[in-house]
Amino acid sequence: MKKISIVVMLVFIISALTFSASLAETLKGRDFVRLGKIATLKGTLIEEGHEWSLRHENGVYDLHMGPGDYRDDKGIVLKDGENATVSGFVHEKDVAVTVIETGGKSVTLRDKTGRPAWAGTRFSKGDRSGNWERPQHNM
């Protein structure tokens, strides 16, 4: 009976860990706005496929910047290995970027409340009305 209890407990623990790991992978930019604190980070851009990160003195941060087409339309070109300054809502090692400066250019991707600059535009995948429910976040 004791062995069965231990096995059941181990199965429960493994299931809980798997669930929490998969939950972390499904968080989106608006979640990091809600959970994060405003900060500015300087570092080097890292491109991995179509994803961007920033190598900072405190580690590597995943950048959540919305549609790449929006950045392209605003004339900012990201280059692997280039220095960048990123401001945004930082939660653990993720950043919902509000402003990115690199290559002598700057683009605003979210306002100070976290509302995406592309919301309600042709770059938006969701509600094109421009309505965006502002999440509650820590400041």
pLDDT at 7: 61
Q: What is the mean pLDDT of each run of 10 residues along the chain (139 residues)?
A: 67 58 68 95 96 97 94 92 98 96 95 92 65 50
pLDDT at 28: 83
Domain membership of residue 11 (yes or no) is no
Domain membership of residue 83 (yes or no) is yes
What distances in angstroms separate CA 68 from CA 19, 23, 53, 111, one per listed residue?
30, 24, 14, 17
Domain that includes residue 100, residue range: 28-108
pLDDT at 27: 87
Contacts of 12 (CB under 8 A, 6+ apart): none
Domain membership of residue 87 (yes or no) is yes
pLDDT at 128: 47
pLDDT at 130: 46
- Number of structural domains (the chain) is 1
pLDDT at 92: 95
Domain membership of residue 13 (yes or no) is no
* CATH code, 90: 2.40.50.140
